[in-house]
Amino acid sequence: MSVRTRSEALFAEALRHTPGGVHSPVRAFRAVGGSPFFAASAAGARVMDADGNAYIDYVGTWGPAILGHAAGPVVEAVQAAAARGTSFGIPHEGEVALARQVKAMVPSVEKVRFCNSGTESTMAAIRLARGFTGRDLIVKFAGCYHGHSDALLVKAGSGALTLGTPDSAGVPEAVARQTLVLPFNDPEALRATFRDHGRSLAAVILELVPANAGLYLPRPGFLEELRRLTHDHGTVLIADEVMTGFRLGPAGAQGVFGLTPDLSCFGKIIGGGLPVGAFGGRGDIMDRLAPLGPVYQAGTLSGNPLAMAAGLAALETLRTTDAWNRLEALGAELEQGMVAGAKAARIPVRFQGIGSMFCAYFTDRPVWNLDDAMHSDRTRFARFFHGMLDRGVYLAPSQFEAGFLSTAHTSDDIETTVRAAEAVFATL
């Protein structure tokens, strides 16, 4: 077992200054017990803690580190940009370059605007859809997490599920009533909602691959039915690709599944690991934004030159290398090894993945939506998490988070991870 005395001291100190000792809830390890380790540095596929322990990292700063930590092209781009100025609050060439790159990679995006986080991007997209349609109601799906804005923090996933409070205090009932929540992968519920409320629906927002309640995939035909209904009713379809954007391929999940949304939201990889968000889509909708239209959205640090440089370096590296094929191969290796290890130990595990994203549910039933995910054995997952951490493998400290591979991971890393999992499975 790794010694983490320095991390424990830092956490005790953090508790004196910060609610829960963390600046984002899931980091507190509440879902798995114990106290979190504190990072000291990270490079490639490894993160090092304050006590000098190294871990194979499958969290990857919750998704952005697709090239691994401290990737050379990204670090060099940020260093060069910082020397020219860390913030302008003025239009600059980096914004134009990254916007051009996003449009080239995602065909549904005709215009794009940058902001500072995934939460900002989804919040702005919802406001824009309402301003464009003149309607108020929106639809989201149970377990899909779209950030912590009031309208979207209703039946959310991720940290909200981890804490057992899917509906946050502080969200006015009047706001929550404007959000209709449906089960994912239920086309009949979708059709009924449009039948009853179609004339009032401004937008439907979803993660095409829900990855904030673990990870599950859309059933065949579900996305096609959603696109048909939104089109027929004049409802804006918003694809939340904050996690999947540029990770599952150049056009994200919408490219994989052949979906053309009206608006898309991005974060994480689009900033190369720096704080960033973006939303974009049809030009006629985007042109409703100020200063052209009546929908207001702004940000002092939007288009920050460091984030633009990092994002451009990340996307160019992905686009010009064999990154996505490599990630697919690594994902397949990990799935094969984990499934075999669980089967040999007779442990009920439902391993689900797509490309470089994955989740292991401790259940023997298929997982297609939030209700299915909630049947996972979270006590067993917590034991698995700590067993892996003690063997130098860092997974997300929650059953309801996806794992991420990077191009810095190697087949040796996968083999080490599988061997560790086999040892832990034997103790469960």
Q: Which residues are catalytic?
A: 145, 240, 268
CA 379 – CA 365 distance, rounded (Å): 17
Cβ neighbours, 10 Å, residue 258: 10
Helices (H) and strands (E) in the chain, counts: 15, 14
Rama region for 391: left / alpha / beta (φ>0; ψ in -120 to 50; rest): alpha
Interaxial angle between packed helices 222-233 and 187-197, expressed in degrees from 0 to 180 and rounded to the nearest 10 = 10
Cβ contact 266:97 at 8 Å = no
User: For the residues of 267-298, what is the DSSP string, one character each?
Assistant: EGGGGTTSS-EEEEE-HHHHTTBTTTSSB---
Q: Which residue has the tokens 């939030």?
A: 370
Cβ contact 260:227 at 8 Å = yes
Backbone angles phi, psi at 153, to 5 degrees: -90, 60
Of all residues in the chain, what percent are helix, strand and coil, respectively (each to 5)? 45, 15, 40
E strands in 207-249: 236-240
CA 291 – CA 193 distance, rounded (Å): 34
Q: Which two tokens stand for residue 45?
A: 């596929």
Helices (H), 106-178: 118-133, 159-162, 173-176
